[in-house]
Chains A and B, each alone.
Chain A
Amino acid sequence: MQKHRSSETAASVLRPTTPLDIGQQTQRQRIIDAMIESCAEKTFAATTITDIVARARISRTTFYKQFEDKRACFEAAVDYSIEELGGIARSAIEPEDEPADASRKAVSAVVEALAARPGLAQLLTGDAFAVDPLVIGRYRKAMIPPLETLWANGNGGGKGHTDPRLAFGQAQVLILSQIASGTPERFPELLPELVYLAVSPFGGHDEAIKQARLARENEATGAAR
């Protein structure tokens, strides 16, 4: 069907790989998706292999063919979520965007994706920290170098303002608080703050406020990012 095909195309743009065995890849992905959804519902601590195989509609044997244990599956789900959001951020920006604009666009796209799939946000800001608090190092490795490159190549900014590592922790706590209050559909309300956090380490407070305001206006008018 038309709809199905177009969504497949979009996914392959984000993850341009040619899987050797499509069947196995899909199974693996189904298990990862099941892990994400189960964690969102009952947290990693309470999730069992039984929960995952039931959700993914696969056998235990299949599960253990793909993953050594629950923890290994969780790690794969974290890696998948980081890559997924990274891809969404990259595809939201144009090469000619100024660094501050690019940051705003990338954050807006990521927030939209999280609102559509709050399980990803729950996994990355809640459970991932419960399982291994040092996971924040992985997020930073995925996100800070691209941001630094962006600012190094662009005009203006680039001088150190706030610590970008701190901004990550802040964003995590902000998103977690929205999830904990059971209102993930209100993620977009956090957009100005999250844009501020993404811009301020490199562009400084004034530029960050400017971008946060722009993000809020775009959000309010539903204008294109």
Chain B
Amino acid sequence: MTNDPEDLRQWRLPRGRHGLPRELVERSQRERLLAAVVRVTATNGYESTTVGDILGEAGVGRESFYELFDDKLDCMLAAHKILVDNLEERVREVYDTPEPWVDRARNALAVTLEWFASDPDAAKFTLVEPGTVGLASREIFLADFARFINLFDAGLADGPEPELAQASTLAISGTLARIYEEVILGRAEELPRLLPDLTYELLVPFVGEEVARAEQERAASLQDG
């Protein structure tokens, strides 16, 4: 975990009087609002959340909100982008390495599961709530999905060549679908336990039955050890 102020999951509200310069206060107001929209939306659902709820949670005035964001959706999208950027960065750290592809793929999966498990609110906000914002949801989904497929594909250059044209899409959608389900069932915290099974599911279209089974067992033994 970093102390990066852009990491909304680490953010805590500074309380009381302070002598901070105006730009810093504004920056921190923005961050407070972004952290608040994540918490409030994850709890109440996007549709039932009002700008007032966000202001209450953040301790920020309405005028400041509208100086920083157009509306509720704008605020939500800004927070969403920060979270997805953060996840992509974490995945990249372990996936863009010189190790063999199978290891990098498993590590990327492990990091992803841990990311979602470490903050169930952020997980729900990132994965589930965007589906409820109306037409904009399609664009959000498509953009996020394409991002992770491109990342996955870029790292596949020296990896195995799958038989299916859209094997990467299968891999990403399988992982996403399983994480989504655990999140809506309120089991986000237990996601890392799925690493061995998901390793098998992720790898099998690329490396076939035998190798994928062996990797599943290896992931299980790494987990126990």
Q: A residues bordering B, Cβ < 8 Å?
A: 42-43, 45-46, 126, 129-130, 133-134, 136, 162-163, 165-166, 168-170, 172-174, 176-177, 179-181, 190, 192-193, 196-197, 200, 204-206, 209, 212-213
Contacts and interface: CB of A to CB of B under 8 A. Distances in A.
Contacts of A172: 177
B124 to A, nearest CB: 10
A179 B142 CA distance: 9
Interface stretch (B3-11, B77-85, B92-100, B133-141): B133-141
Contacts of B134: 42-43, 45-46
B163 A213 contact: yes
Contacts of A200: 204
Given A45-B133, A193-B169, A206-B209, A133 B139 contact: no
Contacts of A45: 47, 132-134
Interface string B147-175: 00000000000000001111001101110
B178 A169 contact: yes
A170 B170 contact: yes
A162 B169 CA distance: 17
Contacts, number: 97
B204 A180 contact: no
A162 B134 CA distance: 33
Contacts of B201: 162-163, 166
A183 to B, nearest CB: 11
B141 A177 contact: yes
A126 B138 contact: yes
Interface of B is mostly: helix
Interface centre among B137, B169, B173 (most CB of A within 10 A): B173
18 contacts: A42-B134, A43-B135, A43-B137, A45-B134, A130-B131, A133-B131, A169-B173, A169-B178, A169-B180, A170-B174, A173-B172, A177-B141, A177-B145, A180-B139, A192-B166, A196-B170, A196-B205, A200-B204
B176 interface: yes
B164 A209 contact: yes
Contact of B181 (A169, A180, A192, A197): A169
B75 interface: no
A43 B139 CA distance: 13
B128 interface: yes
Contact of B128 (A46, A133, A190): A133
A5 to B, nearest CB: 39
B170 A197 contact: yes
Interface in B191-211: 197, 200-201, 204-205, 208-209
A173 B173 contact: yes
B177 A209 contact: no
Contacts of A129: 131
A130 B129 CA distance: 8
Contacts of B139: 180
B212 interface: yes
A130 B169 contact: no
B208 A205 contact: yes
A176 B172 CA distance: 13
B135 A173 contact: no
A218 B186 CA distance: 42
A172 B141 CA distance: 13
B184 interface: yes
A204 B119 CA distance: 35
A178 to B, nearest CB: 10
A212 B205 CA distance: 12
Nearest to A41: B135
A205 B131 contact: no
Contacts of A126: 131, 137-138
Contacts of A176: 141
Contact of B209 (A130, A190, A197, A204): A204
Contact of A193 (B166, B204, B212): B166
Contacts of A170: 170, 173-174, 177
A204 B208 CA distance: 10
Nearest to B124: A133
